[in-house]
Amino acid sequence: MSAENILEALTDNIVVDKSKCIFCGHCAEKCVLDNIRINRAPCSGACPLGLNVQGYVQLIARGQEDRARQLIADVLPFAPVICRICDHPCEHACNRRDVDGQAVSINGLKRYLFAGMPDGELCPAAATGKKVAIVGAGPAGMLAAYDLRRAGHDVAVYDAAPKAGGLLRSVLPLWKLPDSVLDGQIAMLEKGGVTFHLGQRIDKAGLGALQAAHDAVILALGAG
């Protein structure tokens, strides 16, 4: 039997339980025989953050909303914010458009999942003893703080503004991103151990002081 026929025979023996599979692709990545082929749905392929879009839509349809939320939260630290500001390229690629011209309301479903839900949780790893200062409390600074704190580092964020959020707070209209939603995500960082020092403008002398007191300094100053 040729190698091609062997692989075809092995593939024919694969049985997929479609009531459980969400086409995440992990089986294809981990298969030691390299005989599983899964094409990503166009909606997932269009997501710049790599979300398993068809996965959480399937889980919602099955009534497994907690699993759907977790699937998103594993990739998006600030899902309640993202679902309000995303321009949903996934919907432009949705196969449903070829059926009746209208995409599945993917971002609407994501927003539905997190509406009225708790702010989430930041669970730090074991303490590393490393200290990191972040200058800038906008989107980049917040994400850096989340990732570094989750890795177990002590994180302090400095910003000249009286409130954290950067352009998320100062540019986006309240109807698109209410302060309460943004404040909830900042509170989640604080509960996880991130320290914010607001109303403090860091000049060159201040930057030198931060470098002397920390193992690393990240400048997340923003386009402004």
Digit-coded pLDDT (tens) for 87-99? 999 999 998 998 9
> Is the separation of the CB atoms in 122 and 194 below 8 Å?
yes
Q: Given this model, what pLDDT does residue 1 score?
A: 46
The model's confidence at residue 34, banded by pLDDT at 50, 70 and 90, is low
- pLDDT tens for each residue of 140-179: 999 999 999 999 999 999 999 999 999 999 999 999 999 9
Q: Given this model, what pLDDT does residue 28 score?
A: 65
Rg (CA), the chain: 22
Is the predicted pLDDT of residue 61 greater than 70, yes or no? yes
**Pure H helices in the chain:** 3-12, 26-30, 42-46, 53-61, 65-73, 79-85, 89-92, 97-100, 106-114, 139-150, 167-170, 179-191, 204-213
Lowest mean pLDDT across 39-48, 173-182, 195-204: 39-48
Please give the Cα distance from 202 to 209 (Å, whole number). Answer: 10
Higher pLDDT, 32 or 134: 134
Which is nearest to 139 in space by CA: 88, 191, 84, 89? 84
Average pLDDT over residues 106-133: 92
Q: What is the pTM of this model?
A: 0.82
Complete edge-to-edge strand list for the sheet that includes strand 154-159:
195-198, 154-159, 131-135, 216-219
Q: Given this model, what pLDDT does residue 6 score?
A: 53
Q: CB within 8 A of 41, min separation 6: which ones?
A: 23, 53, 54, 95
The tokens for 203 are 């000049």
Residues 104-112: contacts with CB under 8 Å, at least 24 apart: 104/43, 104/57, 106/43, 106/53, 106/57, 107/83, 109/56, 109/57, 109/60, 110/56, 110/72, 110/79, 110/82, 110/83, 110/86, 111/83, 111/84, 112/60
Is the predicted pLDDT of residue 2 greater than 70, yes or no? no
Higher pLDDT, 212 or 17: 212
Average pLDDT over the chain, rounded to an integer: 88
Is the predicted pLDDT of residue 185 greater than 80, yes or no? yes
> Is the separation of the CB atoms in 71 and 57 below 8 Å?
no
> Is the separation of the CB atoms in 161 and 198 below 8 Å?
yes
Average pLDDT over residues 173-196: 95
The model's confidence at residue 80, banded by pLDDT at 50, 70 and 90, is very high
Is the predicted pLDDT of residue 66 greater than 60, yes or no? yes
The model's confidence at residue 33, banded by pLDDT at 50, 70 and 90, is low
Amino acid at 24: C
Average pLDDT over residues 92-118: 91
* Cα–Cα distance list, 142 to 87, 92, 134 (Å): 20, 29, 9
